[in-house]
Chains A and B, each alone.
Chain A
Amino acid sequence: VIFANVSFAFDSVAQELLERRISIQATNQNINSVLSEIEKMVEVKFSYSPNLIRASRKITVTASNEKLSAVLEKLLTPQKLTYEIVGRQIILKRETTEKIQTGQLDLPNAFSPPLDQTITGTVTDENGSGLPGVSILVKGTQRGTTTDASGKYRLILSDNNEVLVFSFVGYLSQEITIGTQTTLNVSLKPDTKALDEIVVVGYGTQKKANLTGSVASIDQKFLANRPITNSSQALQGLSGVYVNMSKGRPGADGATIRIRGVGSFGTNNNPLILVDGVEYNLRDINPADIESITVLKDAASSAIYGNRAANGVVLVKTRGGEKGKFKVDYNMYAGYQEATTFPDAVSDAVQYMEGKNLALQNQGSPIEYSQAIIDEYKSGTDPYIYANTNWFDVMFRKAAQQEHNLRFSGGNDRTTFALSLGYLNQDGIMLGSGAKRYSINTNIASDVTKWLKIGGNIIANFWDYRESAYTADEGNGEGGLMGLIYRGLPMQVPLLADGSYADQWIRVPGHNFYRNPYALAFEGFRKNTNFSAIFNFFAEAQLAKNLRYRVTIAPNFGYDVEKYNNPVIDLKHPKTGAIAPMGNIPIRGVRQSLAEALSLTNFHTLNWNRTIGKSELTALGGFSLEMFKNGSFNAGNQGYFANEISELIAGSANPVVGGNSTQSRLMSYFGRINYVFNDKYLLETNFRYDGSSRFAPDKRWGFFPSISAGWRINEEEFMKNVKPISNLKLRASWGQLGSQPQQLFGFIEAVTSGINYNYNNTVVSGGAVTQIAEQNLTWETTTMTDIGLDFGLFNQRLTGEFDWFNKITSGILRQVNIPQQVGNLIGPVRNIGEVQNKGIEFTLNWRDKIGKLNYNLGGNLLQLSNNVLNTGGQRIFNGNRVIFEGSPIDSYFGLRSMGYFQNTDEIKAAPFQNTVTLPGDIRYVDVNGDNRVDNNDREIIGNTIPKYTYSFTFGADYKGIDFSAFFQGVQGLQNYVNANLGFPYRNGAGVTKEFLTESWTVNNPNAKYPRLTTANGYPQNFQVSDFWMRDASYLRLKNIQLGYTIPDKFTKKLGISRLRAFVNGQNLLTFADFTLGDPERNAANEGIIAYPIAKVVTGGLSVTF
């Protein structure tokens, strides 16, 4: 069952809590009041049949700083009770369940009914497992029974009009009229209200009911078996979070994560990612090892991470071991990937040539293709010479993807462990590319003594990527393989009949080199191997007076080796057979680089809690040190006599070498106090006091406080009778968060080295002052207010959350421009600028059942408005995008258009546009009214930050068959594409069919595009204007999954406790106007040559032994 937006509690959290130490003193008290007292002390929930325990039964128990498990033993053994952990509850049951006989009741006044009708059946939980100890009573009587160990019951009734009441603490009661049935199977649904969901928060966990901040989370269930290649992609669907997977390049397909907008135009906008409390890269966590992901969205929940929490915090908790029997899980899937969308490029060579000639004529240029060439082409038959190539078909394939995960886990009273091994093999959809990941995750925790617990977690990941030396990345501009594919022409062929790499024989101006992409995909390589590991150790000591101390030491490492082997490639002329080396590619040689990162995190926390009457008080204090070291080393060599030699040592010419290392540090003090009164009134305050090495000593400390409050309205007396409302909580928070500059030493006046010069072919080292330092630099501050409402209706079948937030980032750390006459020095980074992100989030979920069909529906929506309030007077230009006061960050800036000029009279009457303006040209608006169109008429014309981000889910299960679907989309953003195929015949590249059929002509005056010209030869129709703003909104079926769990009566015989088979589809359906490539893209990217995102279809198995 998938439920994207609800916070789940977690098995191991309950397990962990069970091992908390408590002190209790109860003399002659009701057993259930003692249990509820324990529930409050540690966040667990007891489930038991009400008739298992006599309410009047008095007990006496004393425990001082003992593990909860030990206390329970003391408490329950005399009652002949024992317990078991099912999910997140502690279920109490009879000591030896075998001895339970149906009909044997623990009721004082039970009596045997007349022997009329026997009814039997099984009571199961939401997962279909039998529930032991469920109370079954005939309504209005004291007659009844309880279920046995496997959930079965037998009851003898006198009247078939009677109604049975099935009840079990922690589950919703059900009433069923017998009728003529003799068998009655019942599935009980968990009472989500009663379950105290636990969510992961900063440096701990908290009951969801007591939460006053705004958080969103997903768990393993939502991620399971999806073909996610980078864990950052897993955040899609979380409310308030915009996750944009802008490319599918294997190994570099991480998604951009923006929580509640884009807060800064100075520092980075990425959230802080913490894996088990330590900063780490999402790429290097196997999604299968993730137990939960929690996103802290507002200041109240994230202020405890003050210094880097301004963009939100993502807490990833990895899966640990569980007490219980040794378990082996094996999960696998295999399938294929295929690109989602490609531009509809003209692949008919004659059409291409005739179209180009027309475009050239339209702009008054000489034609490029003589009639003779075109005629020759039309009559030519040799497909290797007279080709009609579609380069997308040539260079992309259906590519295989498979993943295997094996997990061993188990534990006893003192120690739990888990070990998981993962393997992912993803062939790239582009020829020659692919990635493999090997991962290992071990987790161990142990009670060394009564008061000391230690544990550790080691996660190691090894990535191995491979692609063309002419990388598949758009980072190379038009030089990368993707760029070449978008430049590919129909007249070019990959291979000749004899299998040799083909040259071109028609030379296209502006496209002088035929860098045969097919050859480049196979010759030479770029290999990237990345090893990263995190060693996360903790020790936790239970001290006197409810004090708990925990220390964490976590070094983590990353080594990234990148190697390029640039080849020489011979191309053969299709007509003459002449061999010539491919031109304008890097010289044959080897380049290799090593990037290494080491960071060390050490933090200490002290927890304290106390319940005094109706007040519960919890406090946390902590201290943290973090150190980050980064280094790099690179070398290159040329002068090789063969492509196959790929080691640096074998070269002989132009060696180059480089390298650097940097360091930065953080020191922090932090704390939190929670106060709950009478389960109704909640108050929390957090603070963090941070020092960073990136500021001058007297400016380095920043204080980030937060305060939040909640009111659980449904706990009020006056709400008790409002039946439909099962939960209602109002919460509000305010707080401040910080950001440090990206530049490490902006405050130091330094002389930059490496500003060298070459005299007579000898390089001499030099230096110069290049930047003005700024001593007064200090923290960028984000202030956020959040008001939220959580609600549950109809016994929690309908749940929802609503949040309004206002986030203002001020003192933005932005490099300022200074007059160039001052040595053209780079301006200092200063605290200027202010940005506001304001919006609402709305989450709604419905879960219910129809007969045996359980189903759920959920959805969330983020509406966001981004507004730059202040730029310190600067108008910041970033290519065609700008940061101006009063508009969103990175808005497109350009001319306004108003259709086409239809005739020369219109041109004459219109404000001056350009020296040559002809009918069929775009007509621009003279915004400033000076009767001419120029740069001064530009306005904000497009937005790159989505106004709406939304997702919805649907899930159902029926008799072992489960189904889920997850849609995700964005709305309200535009993209200007200034790239080959985005515009016709740009720089000698191709053209999409639309431009040939839907361009303006006298006979088609309302065409989609202006008259056909080449993009370079007639730039005026391709100026940045609203005409070319393309809607980048989309809605897509991100994931769909259908599974079947084979009944355990079959699998048990094979020693398998659970076996599920499934099929999964990723990105199968997309609805968008954008057709030049996948619409899930960075709207600020003006290129369209990002490695395509794939549709993925897989099938697989999950087996538990």
Chain B
Amino acid sequence: CSDFLDVSPSDRLIQVDFWKTRQHAEAALVGTYNALLNGNIYGGVAMIAMEAATPNAFTYNNTGGGGFIAQGIHDAANNGIINNKWGACYVGIGRANTLLSNIGGITMDETTKKRYTAEAKFLRALFYHDLWLYYGGVPLILETPNLEKQGTLPRNKADEVYAQIIKDCDEAVADLPQLGTTKGHAAKGAAFALKARTMLYKGDFQGAAAAAKQIIDGKSYTLFADYRELFQLDKEGNSEVIFDVQFKNPEFTHSMDITFTDFNSIAPLPDLLNDYYMTDGLPASQSKLFDPKKPYDNRDPRLNQTNILPSTTFRAKTVLANTFGFTGIGQKKYTVYKDNEDRATIAEGQSELNYMVFRYADVLLMFAEAQNEVAGPSQAVYDALNLIRKRAGMPNFPTGLTKEQMRAEIRHERRIELAGEGLYYHDIRRWGTAEKVMNTDIFNFAGGKIGTRKFNKDRDYLWPVPTVVLQNNTSLEQNPGYGK
């Protein structure tokens, strides 16, 4: 009769039965990719919400946490993204580690095994990259999660985490295919791009340039012809995409469409609009094309391909001054809506546009920036940049720039090309410009003041370690300037 109480679950495998077949290994890899979808990494509006922590955009209600950071009122406990990104990254790290520790014992095709291993290493590096980028040094864990062994480990140095990211990228590159087996899977280019970005952010320009050059020389990717179409649903997986996080309605969705357009809760600022060059390739202040009465006419086409301005047409309607209530401006990029086509609103949680973690234009910009730092504005630098300008429909970079001038131009080009993608937050921090551009008032389209920003240079280049994390492992230390 004691058997009566023996009941087993029927919707999951018991661990001792796992790690036996190739399918188990594949399931574990899929589970690792799944961690990318977390709303604090690439899910929801997590990446792009960081725009609101830069001069590019404003959030009235702290959507995605950028608002508190922009005001300098974030702390170790009050901001969702700060609290949750730490754990969300360790979900992915834990799953990758579990796969890497166990796949060796499975009898399966060796090529596939190597590829799974390489993909897991790439993903682990990607998750560590986020931790390193936002928090600095974190406990560096490379084994299957184990409470007893890992629960009290202290933070490693940021450089140790950095070294591991590069190591994982290098090992991944070796066994990844030139192009992904299926779109959504990491290929060599993804690992190179991650390596390039990590090195660029670290300031290893030589390494960054070399890694980016590997992608350029591999010739697997090209710029997609149309900047706006690049972000359209029917053009997903185009030739520019190096690695994207893949969404699909109704299973895996986010909320970018409605958040950017109808809610206007990530709202571009005039500061960004004013930074777009005129079609002659000159800043508004220097261009004859600039008409103060029509300040946004004759601008870089990417202005209207990224932002929705009053008096323009969007979704087959004229945009009114109050259509976008918070700044007067909406973000167009990463919404599926078109200018001349009316379609029903994509409701909250029903967006399925893939988010591009790495695209070829970013690689060209990274190469140009790193190469300029290494050897000045060589032809290779110009070539890379002019590809981007050409696709945008803008004149070539002016020739004869000094290294410093080129640096400024590349930084400007990066802001424009990648506006609304969430990368500018990392740029202003690694360039050290945040303390300048983030200690100002901000204004709406009509010129009304809507807020004041604060950036504490002694504190805000890193996020605080979340209070909960510190509570659960007392051997962790807080970043400077933040209370527990």
Chain A residues at the B interface, C-beta cutoff of 8 Å: 364-366, 368, 479, 507-510, 512-513, 568, 581, 583-587, 625, 636, 638, 654, 656, 660-667, 691-693, 697, 700, 744-745, 748-769, 772, 817-825, 875, 915, 934-936, 987, 1016-1017
Contacts and interface: CB of A to CB of B under 8 A. Distances in A.
Given A697-B6, A768-B32, A825-B145, A818 B73 contact: no
A763 B182 CA distance: 12
Contacts of B27: 751, 753, 765-767
Contact of A767 (B31, B237, B468): B31
B138 A821 contact: yes
B30 A365 contact: no
Contact of A765 (B30, B138, B185, B326): B30
Q: Which of A760, A875, A915 has the most CB of B within 10 A?
A: A760
Contact of B325 (A509, A667, A754, A1017): A509
B60 A1016 contact: yes
27 contacts: A364-B449, A509-B60, A512-B262, A583-B344, A584-B348, A665-B4, A665-B5, A666-B5, A753-B12, A755-B34, A756-B34, A758-B247, A760-B184, A760-B237, A765-B30, A766-B30, A768-B28, A768-B31, A820-B90, A821-B90, A821-B150, A821-B469, A822-B150, A823-B95, A823-B97, A935-B78, A1017-B60
Interface stretch (B210-218, B249-257, B415-423, B424-432): B249-257
Contact of A510 (B60, B258, B472): B60
A915 B7 contact: no
B31 to A, nearest CB: 4
Interface in B167-205: 182-185
B: interface residue count bin = 35 or more
B86 interface: yes
Contacts of A662: 9, 11
A19 to B, nearest CB: 33
Give chain B's interface secondary structure class: loop
Contacts of B414: none
A1017 to B, nearest CB: 7
Contacts of B4: 625, 665, 667
B251 A663 contact: no
A584 B94 contact: no
B295 interface: no
Q: Which of B34, B36, B77 has the most CB of A within 10 A?
A: B34
A507 B323 contact: yes
Contacts of A587: 347, 350
Contact of B91 (A823, A936, A987): A823
A759 B182 contact: yes
B357 interface: no
Given A510-B325, A824-B88, 4 more contacts: A364-B449, A509-B326, A744-B7, A769-B95
A697 B250 CA distance: 41
A660 B88 contact: no
B57 to A, nearest CB: 15
B325 A756 contact: no
Interface in B363-410: none
Contact of A586 (B32, B94, B347, B468): B347
Contacts of A745: 8-9
Interface string B93-113: 111011000000000000000
B6 A758 contact: no
A749 B264 CA distance: 45
A368 B328 CA distance: 12
B33 interface: yes
Contacts of A568: 344
B248 interface: yes
Interface of B: 1-2, 4-16, 18, 24, 26-34, 36-37, 60-61, 71, 73, 75, 77-78, 86-88, 90-91, 93-95, 97-98, 138-139, 141, 144-147, 150-153, 182-185, 237, 246-252, 258, 262-264, 322-323, 325-326, 344-345, 347-348, 350, 444, 446, 448-450, 454, 468-469, 471-473, 483
B28 A767 contact: yes
Q: Which of B12, B16, B88, B323 has the most CB of A within 10 A?
A: B12
A751 B18 contact: yes
A875 B472 CA distance: 10
Contact of B150 (A364, A509, A819, A1017): A819
A749 B11 contact: no
A581 B344 contact: yes
B483 A756 contact: no
Given A584-B262, A819-B469, A759 B87 contact: no
B90 to A, nearest CB: 4
B153 A756 contact: no
Contacts of A365: 450
A759 B94 contact: no
Contacts of A987: 61
Given A820-B90, A915-B73, A936 B264 contact: no
Nearest to B61: A1016
B10 A759 contact: no
A585 B94 CA distance: 37
A757 B138 contact: no
A757 B14 contact: no
Given A512-B262, A760-B237, A824-B90, A636 B250 contact: yes
Given A512-B325, A513-B262, A665-B4, A749 B473 contact: no
A751 B12 contact: yes
Contact of A749 (B14, B30, B71, B73): B14
Contact of A819 (B36, B151, B263): B151
B182 A760 contact: yes
Nearest to A761: B248
Q: Which of A509, A692, A772 has the most CB of B within 10 A?
A: A509
Nearest to A825: B145
A757 B9 contact: no
A824 B60 CA distance: 31
A819 B472 contact: yes
B152 A819 contact: yes
Contacts of A512: 262-264, 325
B22 to A, nearest CB: 13
Nearest to A818: B147
Contact of A820 (B8, B32, B95, B469): B469
A325 to B, nearest CB: 47
Contact of A665 (B7, B13, B249): B7
Q: Which of A697, A745, A750, A763 has the most CB of B within 10 A?
A: A750
A758 B252 contact: yes
Contacts of A819: 147, 150-152, 469, 472-473
A1017 B2 CA distance: 62
Nearest to A694: B7
A744 B262 contact: no
B5 A700 contact: yes
A822 B151 contact: yes
B87 A824 contact: yes
A700 B454 CA distance: 57
A585 B348 CA distance: 8
Nearest to A589: B250
A391 to B, nearest CB: 21
Q: Which of B93, B248, B468 has the most CB of A within 10 A?
A: B248
A750 B15 contact: yes
Q: Which of A693, A763, A822, A934 has the most CB of B within 10 A?
A: A822
B94 A823 contact: yes
Contacts of B88: 824
A367 B29 CA distance: 52
Contacts of B263: 512
A867 B16 CA distance: 42
Q: Which 9 A-B pairs give the minimum distances between C-beta atoms?
A: A823-B94, A509-B325, A766-B30, A823-B145, A583-B345, A768-B31, A759-B184, A366-B448, A820-B87
B264 A822 contact: no
Given A753-B12, A821-B139, A824-B94, A763 B251 contact: yes
A700 B450 CA distance: 61
Contacts of B450: 365-366
A603 B325 CA distance: 66
